[in-house]
Structure 1
Amino acid sequence: MTLLMTILGIVVFAIGLLISIAWHELGHLSTAKLFGIRVPQYMVGFGPTIWSRKKGETEYGIKAIPLGGYIRMIGMFPPGTDGRIEARSTSPWRGMIEDARSAAYEELEPGDEKRLFYTRKPWKRVIVMFAGPFMNLILAVAIFLGVLMTFGIEQQTTTVGAVSDCVIQQSENRTKCAQGDQAAPAKQAGLQKRDKIVAFNGQEVQDWSALQSRIRDTIGPATITVERDGQRQDLQATLIRNQVGKTDGEGGYVKGEYVTAGFLGFTPASGIVEQSFGQSVDRMGDMMQNGVESLIALPTKVPALWDAAFGDGPREADSPIGVVGAARVGGEVLNLDIPPENQVAMMLFLVAGFNLSLFLFNMLPLLPLDGGHIAGALWESVRRRTARLFKRPDPGPFDVAKLMPVAYVVAGVFVCFTLLVLVADLVNPVRIS
């Protein structure tokens, strides 16, 4: 049964992956056709074609390796300075440029002269290249908001999960009381497990973050209003000053850092809590920020990733994972001893996170990524506007093909990083619990 559920989880994630890729390429396809660019191919996957069908002027198909996709647009790069589409050279760098240029005109047909990608205005090319990543962003936002607002997310609540027997400084790294330890204010006040704290000093509290903040800001007498067995009652507590973990402002703790603040002495219970639209948007903003920060920090994680793959280092929880690792996580999700609705929510979050990563990664201003073509079109627009401003001759389209040697280097780095992540995912995977 465990093996079957693992395979099912991997298959479900693979389907989500294919849908995400197809959705991405649909953004490029629809906007390219909108602006009259001829698109001979729309493919999901790489490698040998396992199914295809031609409709109109475009061949639609699925390839054997579901690790990406593409659409083929005619005239991605302008002709060379001599006006020729293909000009061979003994220089390997020049050869790369002309190979890319000739591939852009591989299926040129009569009448295509006015349907070339590079002949479109820069703003139209930006839209075509941005549309793919934007589709992934739309899908990520839709899934995240849908799950957060209908199912919710596990978080700490104002319900009491456990009451401390005594006062212990968190930096002491112990849980058992010692002789002479002062009784915890919550214990003295009569707070009990499963009590739901609904107000603090007469002010209603809706979430753990607000309650935690009020407790930490209070030293001395306080009124704790709880809901117990369907009835409200007030408990009188005297909060003391104690050393507690520093919070990150979102209910979590900063590892190894402590502050002196008000102390009541209980552990909040966790539960699935539906989020409002505003709360969901805030969480989406946090996810986006964390995604950008993780992308910037990616190079710093390579040493630990190498040690996890080829040494005896641990695989950190925030370590980069690839498609194989994500599929493996999908398999583990369906084996968790949690309700089915939780499993569905986690699978949806996994697919949404993948789409958010696709958006952020593709927006990097580097060829061969979509962001590289966007940067080229924007640079062309700046050059032409500057030329008009200073009444100089039109410099013409920016030849993105000249950057292909750099694109090959970037692609090589990406391939090496992908292989490193793949090895780590196979020999020392990120696991969930």
Structure 2
Amino acid sequence: MSTDTSAEPNIFERRESEARSYCRSFPTTFTKAQGSVMTDAEGNEYIDFLAGCSSLNYGHNDPDMKAALIEHISNDGIAHGLDMYTAEKAKFLEAFETHILEPRGMDYKIMMTGPTGTNAVEAAMKLARKITGRKNIIAFTNGFHGMTMGALSLTGNAGKRGGAGGGHLGDVTHLPYDKSLGDTDTLELIEAMLENGSSGVDAPAAFIFEPIQGEGGLNAASKEWMEGVARLAKKHGAMLIVDDIQSGIGRTGTYFGFEHTEIEPDMITQAKSLSGFGLPFAALLIKREHDIWKPAEHNGTFRGNTHAFVTGRVAIEKFWADDSFQKELAEKDALMKKRLTEISEIVPGSRLKGRGLMRGVDVGSGDLAGEICAKCFENGLIIETSGADDEVVKVLCALTIPTETLNKGFDILFSAVRDCVPAEQPMAAE
């Protein structure tokens, strides 16, 4: 097999769709990755603070997951089984039940959807409307839930919505997320809209929100706000859907991004790091009493990835069988907050965003944030922006990143910020 990569950028320009995006920020050809380090064709190494946009919470090529997958493939294990029963699916479900659901007192059925997060969101929307007989779904400003037409109707970003080309994005009411209107109590406003029969807000089939808005700028909802939305959903006979695709699976310091609250979602979307290995895998957790699907009423050719069952089971058993991993996350959370505070102190008007290991700094300008991230890449750090105007420098490192590597990445980020932010000029003497 040829190892010559010199012509590869030309083939991307010549044949890959203009929809490609991350490669525009990171213009090199990657050939290898291990843990929290990626290597390109020239042998340059980069610390990864993107982690597959939280699809690689356990880093690249975890050795235990890799060994299990290689063994499965070498033994002619099932590669694709539609939704037939397989030994691998049984082992994954048993691990999820034993180490995730039962310790948290949760009783959910697990629906295998198509292979990516937007498929889980589509299934949740469809089921909520089927259960309630209503159409309207309440989503929130700055939310991001996927790029297929249903999920896109829930998404707030104008640029993303514009990709629909004028297609139908209706049957959704967008209301203000927590703290999105400054000091205004958005929960009180939402309640007033729902109580007013002339507000124009139809009775909702569901409310859907992210505990932390990943693409929306790391806006973190408070415990009180999430519990308030749950109360309103119950009062108005609507389903409560928590989109925990990016904020879940350890990203906020606990397995689910809402564990510090008293809410009990009717449905929870899961994807990104569900496979543990970066393999396509999405699922919808459904409260047992709401699982009213008829056989094949919602399906997809790639519902349930057997290879992902193998690695996902190992991830659960390795990291969630006891509380040791969660304790490590708390230590890294404190370190990240400390290092990001140091960075924020040299950017006038900036502020910290997010929670847990889903954090960043709002530097107030998309141009500045982009400049900082570009400078980071030049110096060996992969990091991206988020927010309505790309104004947030967003850290999504692997949860397993060694402390030494984490600090080295922050050193690069600190240096980039210092280079991109002009030092304050001393005031002239009168």
Higher RCO, 1 vs 2 (CA within 8 Å, ≥6 residues apart)? 2
Larger radius of gyration: 1
Structure richer in strand, relative to its length: 1
TM over 0.5: same fold? no
TM-score (norm 2): 0.19
TM-score (norm 1): 0.19
